[in-house]
Structure 1
Amino acid sequence: MCDSEKMEMFNNFYDSKYTLDGIYQLMLERQFCDVQISINGNKTYAHSVILAVSSDYFKSNLTKNKTDMYEIHFDDVNEGTMKVLIEYCYTKSIKIYEDNVKNILKLAGFLQITPVVGACCRFLAKCLNTKNCFEIIKLSKLHSSHRLEQQGMDFAKEHFKEVIRSEDFVKLDLDQLAELIHCEIDVSSDVWSSVKRWLDYDSKDRMKYLCTLLSFTKLSLIPSQVFLSEIYPLCKNDPTCVGLVSDVARWQIKCGEKLNVDSQDHVTTMLAVGSWDFYSSSIVEIYDPTKKNWSKLVDLNLQKTAYSVAIVDENLLFIGGYHGAKYVNDLESYNLKTGERKTLSPMKEPREHPAVAVLGDFLYAFGGYSPQNGFLSTTERYDLKNDTWISMGSLSIARHGCGVAVLNNEIYLVGGCTEKAVSVTEAFNPISGKWRTCASMNIKRMWLGLAVSNGYIYAIGGRKINSNITKKYSSVERYDPIADEWKFVADISSERYGIGGGALGGNIYAVGGGDGSILLTTVEEYDVDKNEWNIMASLNYPREITNIISVPWKVLKNQIKM
């Protein structure tokens, strides 16, 4: 009758809708239903195929244990909200109001009805105001709606002065608060008052984040009376915080007599300690931030090299190293105020250049090198109060020549080598005892300098060795822990490795190092605002693989005057 190759497609979309309407009517009449849903003891009925195509939760649960009638029980669920969502599965229509949006979003998220979750988030974005934005941010994070969370944060930044007075502001988590105050807000007194309010809400648990939050605050714009009466008392006993306020403190030296404060106590300086070279390894140099030069502080006559250094209160700690033909596991202390020296409990194994960090009441030693075991993945923790070491879990890879930094109450290990240089970045949480993998650097680096300022980590210079070919770097990368991202910033003046990385007054310092031929005395300062490096006064002693330690000037003021 017709050519067999001819074909015509007939679409009756009206009948499709009529079919769904008909199935919905059958549900209301409880006909052909094969699902019994018990909501807080009350029963409703539906068709499994309709629920399964609309909800991943139902699809997963309705394919298990097939019987003539499925039975699903829900407790502590709003019955009206459940019925509205079941109705949506049939009609693809739902009414969202301010009064029901939270219940619908919560249950739709649980049932994995994605279109309804999206509709609720779009509705909430239209409802943002200064009273509810933090509640909406919390909801968005709970339901993994990154777009709504960003819309909420953008609204909060735009209306900063108003939203910080809301009740929900103090319930922000650290990352959300850091992102909020990290934006360009000109009124730093408002930023500080918001930080203080957030800290005071749970000071016992939150005060440990003071240094991190201060790094996002334009301290120089805060009135001096507020700075001295509110901020400095919180910082004066915390060496990590004192470094952030040193520039402001030096500016206030001019009015120190008027304000009746000891202006020297505000200032932080740097010490250059250790070197691969035996001669300069025992000599400690001090940087004068007023005269901007270096001078010899003390010769410790340590008789070893390749050690790592940490500071606890006024005590320098010297960990591991190389003594003559022997790798050592010893731990020694030197009191910067009194000159007293002590021999403390040794580590469990010898380590050359372990990555060390102090956090809380503990000193941590990660990796390093020993001739017996080569590159080390083992870690140890020293109890500062009880003078005891314990072994901890191993690193994911053996590490030697890596950078170490403390930021946001975590310890970061960056780069290093396991025969070859790596770009790996990992963060250790001392509370959970777990490591997390962060974004890798753009370049593989060993013997890099590492420094922390304004909430960022800077990786400076370094080198890599592949197939006996050594590549040295002048490039510098900056890590943003919020974005989990490394980006290049301005290069230092020359390629070198074994740099000591330091921070003072918000700026970064690259101290010493080697260029493959000689040890260097070069010192450069990175202006974080201008993104440029400037040559500073040189060291008096050449140093490669040196430790730069920040110290409050008041610790040293009995030995040397500004």
Structure 2
Amino acid sequence: MAVEVNQCLLSWDEWRREVLEERVSLFEREVIENGELNEIKVEARVVEKQHKDPEEREDPDEKLRRENSILGPSTSKERKEEEDESKKLTNEKEAAASQTTQEEEFQDHHKKFQKKKPTDDDDDDEEAEHLMDEEADSNDEDVVKIYCKDDYHTDIFRNLTEFRDSSLLTDLTLRTEDRGSFHVHSPVLAAVSSHIQEVHRVILAVCSDYFRGMFTLGMRESHQPCVTLPFLFASELEVLIDSSYTGALPLSWKYVFEITSTALQLHQFQKVACTSKFKDLPAKQLLKYLNSRSLYVPSELVLFRAVVAWIQAKPKLRLKFAKDLMKTIHFSLMTSKEFKEVQSLKMWSDHSLAKLYKAVFEDFCSNESQCRTYLPKESLVLIGGDQNSGDSRSISRELWFGNSLRNYKWGEKAMEWRKLGEMPEPERFSHEVAVLKGQLYVFGGNKYYGISDSMNSVYRYDPFQNNWESLAEMQQKRYSFSVVVLDGKIYAIGGHSDNEYIESVECFCPTGNSWNFMWPLDLPLGGHVANVSQGRIFVSGGLSSHHQFLSSMFLYHPETGSTYLANMAKPRACHCMETLGECLYVAGGFTAADDMSFVDQLACEVYNPVDDSWTAFTPLPVPHVGAGGAVLEGKFYVLGGYSQENHRDTKLVHRYDPTTQNWENMGKMPGPNNDIRATVLYLPPQFRL
């Protein structure tokens, strides 16, 4: 009887162990509690050994002795039964018996066990152990446990990689200029592009948020089954795609520099040129960078130093490239101080470079008009506005964009402007603009100079389709107001309406094409500026309904209203305020003098939200009242405007560089410049060529 009970107990334990193993087969074994951990680990090792190559299997006797040492002492009868059971299991595995047969054997044993009742001859220890097992099972059924698989995400992406390799469920084909073709899942590229950029900030700056923008901002490519990427070769794109699916970049420095050509050519060139790996660039690749119009350098001396460092790394092999490399440098744009450094170079003592030095010197002395042209990734765009036209003023529907920045001799700079098109009628000024998901929105404004000439019309421009769309009108007519984008919605804040100041705020939902009123401002306000920083709406300055110039700065929340912050040192209205980093920069506008006359506000201030404080920075060189403001590549642009003191147009663009803390003259405006609006927009290549 004891033998039958023991056999049934073993079968019951075996069944319970198999159920537990099946339940946690995908999770960590160490979550099993109640004294069962060692038993399951031993049994798991037995099964694992039985699946190995026969030559590597453990000797059954040795296995049994090891199990006994772990499970504790037992009777000779029990050991014999266990040994028989072990041999039986081994024979069944070697005979490749099916799982069905094992389940049938278990059911037979289990039925016998249910028919048998424990007798007084049963071993007390075995009965106690059985009762503990039943209690453990009961407790295990009542306890809810959450199992986690540490490599779950890895497995998911491994499966996605297999899908990609098999072109399974791929929805996009990417082609390169050398006719390479890759089938990918667009959601994968869109989801991981920003994370890759954060992890490999320098290495993958070329694709920073590129695919995310392509597939989520309503661009034309998001609807195309095949997209051509003319700036990448097949070998380069393959590495980028692989890194998107695996998170790994197995790159040599050769491919690092190839893939990051755009990053190098933008703002990283000066930094990368100082690294030792820069000197390993092939001559052909270096020439490609130096001849690119996407190359940005603060001066020609930076290029000269980089070329010299590259040559001197292997002078015997690279001196022959000196002539071609020096041709990419505009020595005529250097100052006399900069060229003295060129002349002091010991490399010129090599007689083979005598003719090259003569050519370099002649280039420096040349009076020919030369410039270095740089194409930013995004473009400054000017919308509407008005201007002086002889004895009268004219209002505009024009859109202009800055295609390139040009550096001339003696540090002179200019913006190359191109006409983008015209917005739908009528012409407008004192309006507002916003960019959301790569599309340009234009709101309200004045169509003429009368009291009742304000508008509430709204239009949206898609640069990739090059078309305009009329949207739902604002619920109130507005001009001299402000607009911000927050959490996918657009807020129109305050302003004038038919010559009255208003405090209302409206929210536009692009998906529903509808407007809703939000919590109003504390007072009617016009000529103010709102901007978003770190997910919060800041509003500065403006004019109250009593024509009082304000120095206030407050946070506006659409659901709860205004929270006031530290005041500016100078009150102002019709100014510019832009976010740079964590701070907000304020420039331009006008204010009232002590005698209540209007004066131009040249003083500039920067607000730090962390300590709620204002700090003065370099004042503007000329008045900019009603100017357009924007930030491009980390620099604050103030575009156009006029002087309130003499009513003359300011037809200049000024740029503030926080690193040098100076304003730079960036040349003239292309057309309208008063009560104009500016923004930054990504334009398709066909506009930039």
Q: Aligning the two structures, in what range does the TM-score lie when normalised by the shorter sequence?
A: 0.5 to 0.7
Aligned to 2:679: 549
8 Å Cα contact 1:247/1:505 also seen in 2: no
Q: 1:249 to 1:394 in 2, by over 3 A?
A: farther
The 5 A counterparts of 1:412-431 are 412-418=538-544, 419-430=547-558
- Residue 523 of structure 2: aligned partner: 397
Change (3 A) 1:303 1:426: same
Q: Say if 2:357 is the partner of 1:357.
A: no
**2:600, 2:588 → 1: CA distance?**
7
Give the length in aligned residue pairs.
334
Distance 1:548 1:397 in 2: 27
Equivalent residue in structure 2 for 1:269, among 369, 373, 379: 379
Shift of 1:495: 2.7
Taking a change above 3 Å as real, the CA distance of residues 475 and 234 of structure 1, as seen in their structure-2 partners, is farther
Matches within 5 A, 1:6-17: none
Q: Which runs of 5+ in 1 are unaligned?
A: 1-206, 240-245
Output the CA distance in 1 between the equivalents of 2:478 and 2:497.
6
Aligned pair 1:295/2:418, yes or no? yes
The answer to whether structure 1 residue 469 and structure 2 residue 592 are counterparts is no
Aligned counterpart in structure 1 of residue 203 of structure 2, from 217, 221, 225? 225
TM-superposed CA distance for 1:280, in Å, is 5.3
1:483 aligns with 2:614: no
CA contact 2:454–2:477 (8 Å) conserved in 1: yes
Distance 1:455 1:282, change over 3 A: same
Q: TM-score, normalised by structure 2?
A: 0.44
Distance 1:452 1:223, change over 3 A: closer
Which one of 412, 421, 435 corresponds to residue 311 of structure 1? 435
Asked if the contact 2:396/2:427 (under 8 Å) is kept, the reply is yes
2:575–2:626 contact (8 Å) kept in structure 1: yes
Indicate whether 1:284 and 2:399 are aligned: yes
Distance in 1 (alpha carbons) for counterparts of 2:670 and 2:469:
27
**Which residue among 249, 252, 266 is the counterpart of 1:250?**
266
Q: TM-score, normalised by structure 1?
A: 0.54
Seen in structure 2, the aligned counterparts of structure 1 residues 234 and 387 have a Cα distance that, compared at 3 Å, is: closer
Question: 1:401, 1:454 → 2: CA distance?
Answer: 24
State the 1:428 CA deviation.
2.3
Task: Give how far 1:314 is off.
Answer: 3.4
| CA distance in structure 1 between the partners assigned to 2:264 and 2:641 by the alignment | 30
Whether the 8 Å contact between 1:307 and 1:322 is mirrored in structure 2 is: yes
Amino acid at match of 1:558: Q
Residue from 340, 349, 352 that aligns with 2:467: 340
Whether the aligned pair in 1 keeps the contact of 2:436 and 2:488 (CA below 8 Å) is no
Give 1:333's aligned amino acid: R
User: Are residues 1:508 and 2:636 paired?
Assistant: yes
Distance 1:293 1:370, change over 3 A: same
* AA partner of residue 435 (structure 2): I
Q: Output the aligned Cα RMSD.
A: 3.5
Distance 1:417 1:457 in 2: 20
After superposition, residues 51-450 of structure 1 pair within 5 angstroms as 224-228=202-206, 250-251=266-267, 267-277=377-387, 279=394, 281-291=396-406, 292-300=415-423, 302-305=425-428, 306-324=430-448, 325=450, 326-371=453-498, 374-418=500-544, 419-430=547-558, 433-450=560-577
Q: 1:223 to 1:408 in 2, by over 3 A?
A: closer
CA distance 1:256–1:299, shift in 2 (3 Å): farther
C-alpha distance in structure 1 between counterparts of 2:492 and 2:641, whole Å = 22
Distance 1:417 1:352 in 2: 13
Structure label with greater radius of gyration: 2
Percent identity over paired residues: 19
Distance, in Å, in 2 between the alignment partners of 1:505 and 1:557 is 19
The gaps in structure 2 that reach 5 residues or longer are 1-190, 218-261, 270-284, 295-373, 388-392, 407-414
Residue 662 (structure 2) aligned to one of 532, 549, 553? 532
Deviation at 1:236, TM superposition (A): 7.1
With over 3 angstroms needed to count, the CA separation of the structure-2 counterparts of 1:514 and 1:252, relative to structure 1, is same
TM-superposed deviation, 1:401: 0.8
Q: Which is richer in helix?
A: 2
CA gap of 1:237–1:460, structure 2 versus 1, over 3 A, is farther
Q: Give the counterpart letter for 2:673 in structure 1.
A: R
* Whole-angstrom distance in 1 between the partners of 2:528 and 2:395: 22
